[in-house]
Homo-oligomer: A and B are copies of this chain.
Amino acid sequence: MGLFSKKHKRADTIVVPAVGQGPSPIAVPSGDSIEGRTFEIGSEMLRRARGHKTGILSARFYSDALMEWSMKDHEFKVQMFRFVDAFPMLRTPEAVFEHLSDYLSQPGVTVPPVIAAALKAGAIAKGMAAKTISGQITGMAGKFIAGTDAASALPGLKEMWDGGIAFSVDLLGETCLSDEEADGYAKKYLDLINNLPKSVASWKSQPTLENDHLGPIPRTNVSVKISALSARCDPIDTEGSINDLMKRMLPILETARDRGVFVNFDMEHFGLKDFTLELFQRCVEKIDFQAGLAMQAYLRSGPADAVKMCEWAARRGKLITVRLVKGAYWDAETIKSEMHGWPSPVWPRKWMTDRCFEQMAAIFLDACPTAPAARGRGDIATGGPRPSGVKLALGSHNVRSIAAVVAGLERRNLPLNAIELQMLHGMADQLKFAAAEMGLRIREYVPVGEMIPGMAYLVRRLLENTSNESWLKAGFMDNADAGTLLKVPGAGVPDAPLPPEQADRHMLTPAVEGVGDGKPFYTEPMRDFADGAQRAAFAAAVQRATVPKVANDRTPEQAGRLVASAEMAFQTWRDANPRLRSGVLTRAADLMRDQRDGLAGVMIKEAGKTWREADADVCEAIDFCDYYARLAVPMFERERMGKFIGELDEQWYQARGVAVVIAPWNFPLAILCGMTAAALVTGNTVVMKPAEQTPGIASVLNDIFQQALKEHDAPPGVLQFCPSPGETTGAALVRDARIALIAFTGSKAVGLNILEAAGRTPEAQPFVKRVICEMGGKNALIIDQSADLDEAVMAARQSAFGFQGQKCSACSRLIVVDPDGPRAAAISAFTRRFVEATKALVLGDPAKPGTDIGPVIDIEAKNTIAGFIEKGRRECTLELAMPVPAGLEAALGRSFVGPHIFSGVKSEHVIAREEIFGPVVAIMHASSFEEALRIANGSVYKLTGGVFTRKPAHIEKAKREFRVGNLYINRGITGALVGRQPFGGFGMSGVGSKAGGKDYLYQFVEPRASCENTLRRGFAPEL
């Protein structure tokens, strides 16, 4: 059947026209200005490229039926490409067919009739359809990926070479999650660098490709992704990461130096940019290899980085090559910065990137040596002195960009071979031929690798080529005129208004005039530890931080007096202007913002949080204040119901009374702050009882609230600090007949005890107590067959072991779907990667940025966790028991438990049922997604849960049937953000409240209503 193919034949091999050996001068009419030259050069290149009518890959690419449909219907394209992404994980034709039909039946997708017919067909047709689409995708991948490894790609590379095009080999790979994987990638690079030179040595001479204006250049050119060479590639611990990376990088570079191989450092996401620059410079300073580095013009920092790089090369006397690219992660960078509330690192408009490309090119051309071996320096062959500076390689398919640089060359009297043009394998061949004809040196960027890692690369290419902003699409599919295609970047582009600020765009709360900045709430951005300045400030603050010494010594009698004071203050506080109360919260938020890193430092030292965990805790505390401040004000404004003339119906809320807040130690700032802020802003007065393990940070919070209260002239006594033992004083507070409201977060046992105590209403108590109760979790993460394992393993590791698993949201059950059985390939592969990835975690002092796993909260916790581990050992298979480094406990005076992973866990096993609150995770097997849901739902806890899947129907099913308070799809299951993921569960996890959600504050108030008859003598003002 003709599914997914069109009738005309496709050529099976790339037809590369012969190109002359030496550089042929570009023949264009001379122009007055550089802009004129740019147009001349560009027009010529365009004309030549368009002349290549046959055997041109791009044209064929677009004429493919699948691509044609994708270009026509955006929704079809989205779903089809998402299917393509998931495709390599699908092991059977049934799975392929199911996923395909699932994706294409998503809302809004218009399915071409021929596909629709196939989707409706019977079993045999389904098998054929699956086969056809599989072939189609494999074929498409084959256009862009030269082979599964260098050996299989070699014939293609030689053919290219013979046709006048050089190469740079790129090894496609999955995310590097473990030392094992990093070692594997290092080995592959070493193999390549060791063996490729031998293979290409016999190829015919191609002078254009083997020389630039400064002399010979290597035939073998390898592109390296640094993130593949370490599982700890995290700028938060730049030194540690560089050390780990160097272990594998140095042998590679030494070999490259010895074998005369050019090594290019690819540039990945912005978070690694500074790190990569730093690493590159250190490597170049250390080893005298032929070094290249990719730099991205879509970064706002592009020109500044370019200048710095040129200055560094000059200062150090190094000659490097910069591959200047536009940048391939614009969407991801834009999205990530928005999600974090960070400034976007990339230009908001495509033309700005194009402009930046030309600016950066000019900087690099200015730094380009004009002559070889100046002042007696030798050349590469002799190893003698070389000129220093930057050679430019252009990684672009945009003729305007290329032409502008060529014009820049001329202006600087640099020869054409001072630059080279790098283009992607499988794309824009007509451009390559045209440029080669015009005498430019062309190098293809040639990825090799397996299907699974290849799909990411494939999808990126597919999206790129179908984007409406694609120059190639404009030039060769839409056939725009030269004037449009070659114009100055941004020329004639109207000034589009900027999008509204994030707070306004997302409207997570209403904006309340006079509260905070008068804008809607927006989550406090966490620290960007890729930024050296933020890193340094944080480190200094952590070092300075001291934990206040606070005794948990308040007796029940003292607590009773605190309640009395809070009761005294209640009426005034309840009747205060709601904006004043909200002002106290936003002021407290500001005070916390002012000392963010210091607060984190206290928690790092008191609770053993790692940097990011502590920073997130502070952000959440700030968020609770800013969020509740905005939600509270409207609650106290009378809301009119209906518009009856003569009848004024209104509803509003009032505070309940004196609240006691009983908080846990695991979010010693955020949760304490959130419950207290909610009670205060709604007009209740509060007795704040922190966890016995973390009174220090609580006392800092108390100071902050007291200052904010004082600055707002709140009545004295509104907030009472009561560090005390829970069993005596806490229990007494809960039972105090003057306490109207108990906000508790903690264990199930204590929570149920509080609920029972509060259920009793003694004669002297003129109200029913309200209990807001959040308890434990036994949270499951389901990994199904189509899951993106790179992401699933990372998310599982973070969810299970972040803050040593001491979160009520922590993942403690990993349910892996494998229809082939509990020891079959899928679950085994996941388990292996997960175990290996976990081994990469670092146990240590949480004050150090490189530490992933700090101490557990205290020795009791350690013993309890150890008890569970012991039970697990008896019932299940222990896959990993990470040891605690010798001497660590003694050195820090804290208790440590290393991550533990069990497999073969069944629902009836203790470690699958009970909350452990430590770094222990149970891997469970399910034969189907449905069984996985049943297992997940089997717990009495209903807090968080997660699913990794790329099957749309499974996502929908999980939303319907995975019954937890907070469900996470294709991400980790901890780290709920205020206003975005209202947090809380039901069942044994709590009473169904949602901290950081729009309903939360209603639990702290009582509703009131009034009905006023505004008629007088039969007349009402409104009529």
By a beta-carbon cutoff of 8 Å, the part of chain A in contact with chain B is 78, 81-82, 85, 329, 331-332, 334-335, 338-339, 455-456, 459-460, 463, 505-508, 575, 638, 641-647, 649-651, 654, 656, 752, 755-761, 766-768, 770, 773, 788, 940, 950, 955, 959-960, 963-971, 976, 979-984, 986-988, 990-994, 997-999, 1002, 1005-1021, 1023
A980-B642 contact given A85-B1017, A766-B987, A1021-B78, CB 8 Å threshold: yes
Question: Is A967 within 8 A of B1009, CB to CB?
Answer: yes
Q: How far is the CB of A643 from chain B (nearest CB, A)?
A: 6
Question: Is B988 within 8 A of A766, CB to CB?
Answer: yes
Question: Is B988 within 8 A of A999, CB to CB?
Answer: no
A-B contacts, 27 of them at CB < 8 A, read: A78-B1021, A329-B1018, A331-B1023, A332-B1015, A332-B1019, A335-B1015, A335-B1018, A335-B1023, A339-B644, A456-B1017, A459-B1017, A459-B1019, A460-B1018, A647-B980, A651-B994, A752-B768, A766-B940, A767-B940, A768-B990, A959-B1010, A967-B1008, A967-B1009, A970-B1013, A970-B1015, A981-B1009, A984-B1007, A997-B1007
Q: Which residues of the partner chain B approach A755 to less than 8 Å between Cβ atoms?
A: 759, 761, 768
Bound-state Cα–Cα, A335 to B642, Å: 13
Q: Which residues of the partner chain B approach A981 to less than 8 Å between Cβ atoms?
A: 649, 1009, 1011
A966-B1006 contact given A651-B997, A1017-B85, CB 8 Å threshold: no
Bound-state Cα–Cα, A575 to B1019, Å: 50
Q: Which residues of the partner chain B approach A992 to less than 8 Å between Cβ atoms?
A: 656, 770, 1005-1007
Bound-state Cα–Cα, A460 to B1018, Å: 9
Q: Which residues of the partner chain B approach A649 to less than 8 Å between Cβ atoms?
A: 980-981
Q: Which residues of the partner chain B approach A459 to less than 8 Å between Cβ atoms?
A: 1016-1017, 1019
Bound-state Cα–Cα, A1009 to B1010, Å: 33
Q: How far is the CB of A271 from chain B (nearest CB, A)?
A: 12
Q: Which residues of the partner chain B approach A976 to less than 8 Å between Cβ atoms?
A: 1011
| Nearest CB in chain B to that of A332: its residue | B1018
Question: Is B1008 within 8 A of A768, CB to CB?
Answer: no
Bound-state Cα–Cα, A1013 to B977, Å: 14
| Nearest CB in chain B to that of A82: its residue | B1016
Interface of A is mostly: mixed
Q: Which residues of the partner chain B approach A456 to less than 8 Å between Cβ atoms?
A: 1017
| Nearest CB in chain B to that of A766: its residue | B940
A966-B1009 contact given A331-B1023, A456-B1017, A960-B575, CB 8 Å threshold: yes
Query: Which residue of the partner chain, among B761, B1011, B1023, contacts A968 with CB atoms under 8 Å?
Result: B1011
Question: Is A994 within 8 A of B967, CB to CB?
Answer: no
Bound-state Cα–Cα, A153 to B1021, Å: 33
Q: Which residues of the partner chain B approach A1005 to less than 8 Å between Cβ atoms?
A: 992
| Nearest CB in chain B to that of A644: its residue | B339
Q: How far is the CB of A1010 from chain B (nearest CB, A)?
A: 4
Question: Is A638 within 8 A of B959, CB to CB?
Answer: yes
Question: Is B960 within 8 A of A767, CB to CB?
Answer: no
- Knowing that A767-B940, A992-B1006 touch, tell me 14 more A-B residue pairs with CB under 8 angstroms: A334-B645, A335-B646, A339-B644, A505-B643, A641-B979, A647-B980, A758-B759, A767-B988, A768-B988, A770-B992, A964-B1008, A967-B1011, A981-B1009, A993-B1007
Bound-state Cα–Cα, A990 to B998, Å: 23
Q: How far is the CB of A381 from chain B (nearest CB, A)?
A: 41
A768-B997 contact given A339-B644, A644-B506, CB 8 Å threshold: no
| Nearest CB in chain B to that of A507: its residue | B642
A1010-B767 contact given A335-B1023, A756-B759, A1019-B332, CB 8 Å threshold: no
Bound-state Cα–Cα, A381 to B656, Å: 78
Query: Which residue of the partner chain, among B329, B331, B997, contacts A1009 with CB atoms under 8 Å?
Result: B997
Q: Which residues of the partner chain B approach A983 to less than 8 Å between Cβ atoms?
A: 1009
Query: Which residue of the partner chain, among B752, B770, B773, B1011, contacts A991 with CB atoms under 8 Å?
Result: B770
Question: Is A994 within 8 A of B1007, CB to CB?
Answer: yes
Q: Which residues of the partner chain B approach A759 to less than 8 Å between Cβ atoms?
A: 755-760
Q: How far is the CB of A427 from chain B (nearest CB, A)?
A: 18
Bound-state Cα–Cα, A980 to B656, Å: 24
Q: How far is the CB of A679 from chain B (nearest CB, A)?
A: 15
A1010-B969 contact given A767-B986, A1017-B460, CB 8 Å threshold: yes
Q: Which residues of the partner chain B approach A987 to less than 8 Å between Cβ atoms?
A: 766-767
Q: How far is the CB of A579 from chain B (nearest CB, A)?
A: 16
Question: Is B638 within 8 A of A1013, CB to CB?
Answer: no
Q: How far is the CB of A990 from chain B (nearest CB, A)?
A: 8
Q: How far is the CB of A242 from chain B (nearest CB, A)?
A: 25
Bound-state Cα–Cα, A507 to B940, Å: 41
A1016-B85 contact given A646-B335, A766-B988, A1023-B335, CB 8 Å threshold: yes
Bound-state Cα–Cα, A1007 to B986, Å: 8
| Nearest CB in chain B to that of A645: its residue | B335
Q: Which residues of the partner chain B approach A761 to less than 8 Å between Cβ atoms?
A: 752, 755-756
Q: Which residues of the partner chain B approach A1023 to less than 8 Å between Cβ atoms?
A: 331, 334-335
Bound-state Cα–Cα, A851 to B807, Å: 66
Q: Which residues of the partner chain B approach A329 to less than 8 Å between Cβ atoms?
A: 1018
Nearest 4 CB-CB pairs, A to B?
Answer: A759-B759, A332-B1018, A506-B642, A969-B1012
Question: Is B644 within 8 A of A980, CB to CB?
Answer: yes
Bound-state Cα–Cα, A642 to B991, Å: 25
Q: Which residues of the partner chain B approach A752 to less than 8 Å between Cβ atoms?
A: 761, 768
Q: Which residues of the partner chain B approach A757 to less than 8 Å between Cβ atoms?
A: 759
Query: Which residue of the partner chain, among B455, B638, B656, B967, contacts A1010 with CB atoms under 8 Å?
Result: B967
Bound-state Cα–Cα, A508 to B649, Å: 11
Q: Which residues of the partner chain B approach A647 to less than 8 Å between Cβ atoms?
A: 339, 980
Q: Which residues of the partner chain B approach A966 to less than 8 Å between Cβ atoms?
A: 1008-1011
Query: Which residue of the partner chain, among B331, B641, B656, B982, contacts A1018 with CB atoms under 8 Å?
Result: B331
Bound-state Cα–Cα, A1015 to B507, Å: 22
Bound-state Cα–Cα, A983 to B986, Å: 27
| Nearest CB in chain B to that of A975: its residue | B1011
Bound-state Cα–Cα, A506 to B640, Å: 10
Q: How far is the CB of A1004 from chain B (nearest CB, A)?
A: 11
Bound-state Cα–Cα, A263 to B1009, Å: 48
Q: Which residues of the partner chain B approach A950 to less than 8 Å between Cβ atoms?
A: 1016
Question: Is B339 within 8 A of A1012, CB to CB?
Answer: no
Query: Which residue of the partner chain, among B645, B651, B979, contacts A338 with CB atoms under 8 Å?
Result: B645
Q: How far is the CB of A525 from chain B (nearest CB, A)?
A: 14
Bound-state Cα–Cα, A252 to B766, Å: 58
Q: How far is the CB of A134 from chain B (nearest CB, A)?
A: 19
Bound-state Cα–Cα, A1015 to B788, Å: 11
| Nearest CB in chain B to that of A649: its residue | B980
Question: Is A506 within 8 A of B1006, CB to CB?
Answer: no
Bound-state Cα–Cα, A647 to B456, Å: 19
Question: Is B1012 within 8 A of A955, CB to CB?
Answer: yes
Q: Which residues of the partner chain B approach A575 to less than 8 Å between Cβ atoms?
A: 960
| Nearest CB in chain B to that of A795: its residue | B1013
| Nearest CB in chain B to that of A757: its residue | B759
A641-B508 contact given A967-B1010, A980-B1011, A1016-B82, CB 8 Å threshold: yes
Bound-state Cα–Cα, A557 to B508, Å: 50
Bound-state Cα–Cα, A1013 to B968, Å: 8
Q: How far is the CB of A967 from chain B (nearest CB, A)?
A: 4
Bound-state Cα–Cα, A1021 to B83, Å: 13
Bound-state Cα–Cα, A1021 to B1005, Å: 41
Q: Which residues of the partner chain B approach A641 to less than 8 Å between Cβ atoms?
A: 506, 508, 979-980, 982
Question: Is A773 within 8 A of B768, CB to CB?
Answer: yes
Bound-state Cα–Cα, A518 to B212, Å: 76
Residue with the highest number of chain B CB atoms closer than 10 Å, among A85, A641, A646, A981: A641
